């Protein structure tokens, strides 16, 4: 679970973040291992020097995301078992953004943690925030019921299950409007700005035409196509964690989330040239 938090703390566009994105997108498909030389070549296509990439690899090794491994006397890196589970969960979040309907159920998490365990209390709140939970009160959090399994995992991991009660409920009854309640429970403006930022950085790329046909003339896919796709995923990947995917009646009328999801889905559907570039690089 700490790997998930580290992943969220990596600023999109930073070397560590880009390297995590490359690992998540391509290292597993390459058999769970990739030579150091090829990892560096892919990072160079993103404008990152070999020296900086090696430093980032060392950081991910310390965080137990990757581990060094020789194959046929060739130095490289493999994904750790713990990171593989984290990346698989990330796949589900990134490529299948949540969208609640008005009839979907909710999960409420109530907890009372003594001051002697305040560090665990801090970790619990931080982790609940990073999976998209909202704060109703200091010891009462809310999220879509689809996240209940992850909530349970967090409680067990922190050894706090005995101090928490998890409820499943229909739409909560509030004193005012659901939109006002949601804006108090979640920082929806921060999430909206993430969507707007994604649209600002990727809207023109999506309008350039369909990249799926970029290499249909037999020419090799370009490093630029690869870089655009990786940077798209890198900027998007934290949004499905923080965006709870609330029903329309909970959201502001000018909510940009649907436009952000639609743009991402168009760009994700055009991933083939990027994968072709990676295959060509690994064969070189």
Confidence at residue 204, expressed as pLDDT on a 0 to 100 scale: 73
pLDDT greater at residue 211 or residue 236: 236
Surface-to-core class of residue 200, CB atoms within 10 Å of its CB (0-12 exposed, 13-18 middle, 19+ buried): exposed
Q: Where in the chain are the domains?
A: 2-92, 106-170, 187-282
pLDDT digits (tens, 9 = 90+) for 36-52: 999 999 999 999 999 99
User: How far out from the chain centre does Cα 28 lie?
Assistant: 16
Is pLDDT above 90 for 19? yes
Q: What is the mean pLDDT of residues 98-119?
A: 95
According to the CATH classification, is domain 2-92 in 1.10.10.10?
yes
This prediction's pTM: 0.86
Q: What is the mean pLDDT of residues 265-280?
A: 90
Is pLDDT above 50 for 170? yes
Is pLDDT above 70 for 220? no
Confidence at residue 270, expressed as pLDDT on a 0 to 100 scale: 80
Cβ pair 163, 133 in contact under 8 A: no
Pick the CATH number of 106-170 from 3.40.50.1100, 3.40.190.80, 3.90.1150.10, 3.30.70.270: 3.30.70.270
Average pLDDT of the chain, as a whole number: 90
Cβ pair 16, 59 in contact under 8 A: yes
pLDDT greater at residue 186 or residue 212: 186
Nearby residues of 90 by Cβ (< 8 Å), 6 or more positions away: 4, 7, 24, 237
Surface-to-core class of residue 110, CB atoms within 10 Å of its CB (0-12 exposed, 13-18 middle, 19+ buried): middle
Confidence at residue 207, expressed as pLDDT on a 0 to 100 scale: 57
């Amino acid at each position: 679970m700490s790997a998930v938090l580290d992943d969220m703390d990596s600023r999109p566009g930073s070397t560590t973040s880009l390297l995590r994105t490359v690992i998540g997108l391509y290292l597993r498909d390459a058999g769970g291992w990739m030579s150091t030389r090829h990892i560096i070549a892919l990072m160079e296509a993103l404008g990152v020097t070999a020296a900086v990439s090696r430093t980032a690899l060392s950081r991910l090794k310390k965080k137990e995301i990757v581990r060094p491994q020789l194959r046929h006397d060739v130095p490289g890196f493999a994904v750790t078992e713990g990171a593989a589970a984290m990346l698989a969960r990330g796949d589900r979040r990134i490529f299948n953004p949540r969208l609640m309907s008005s009839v979907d159920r909710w999960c409420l998490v109530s907890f009372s943690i003594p001051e002697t365990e305040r560090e665990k209390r801090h970790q619990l709140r931080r982790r609940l925030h990073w999976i998209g939970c909202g704060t109703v009160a200091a010891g009462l959090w809310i999220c879509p019921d689809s996240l209940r399994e992850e909530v349970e995992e967090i409680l067990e991991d922190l050894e706090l299950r005995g101090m928490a009660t998890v409820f499943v409920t229909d739409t909560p009854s509030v004193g005012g409007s659901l939109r006002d309640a949601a804006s108090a429970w979640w920082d929806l403006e921060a999430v909206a700005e993430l969507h707007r930022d994604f649209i600002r950085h990727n809207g023109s790329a999506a309008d350039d035409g369909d990249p799926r046909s970029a290499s249909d003339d037999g020419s090799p896919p370009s490093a630029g196509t690869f870089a655009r796709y990786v940077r798209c995923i890198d900027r998007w990947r934290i949004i499905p964690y923080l965006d709870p995917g609330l029903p329309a009646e909970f959201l502001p009328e000018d909510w940009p989330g649907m436009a952000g999801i639609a743009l991402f889905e168009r760009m994700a559907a055009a991933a083939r040239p990027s994968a072709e570039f990676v295959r060509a690089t690994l064969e070189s």
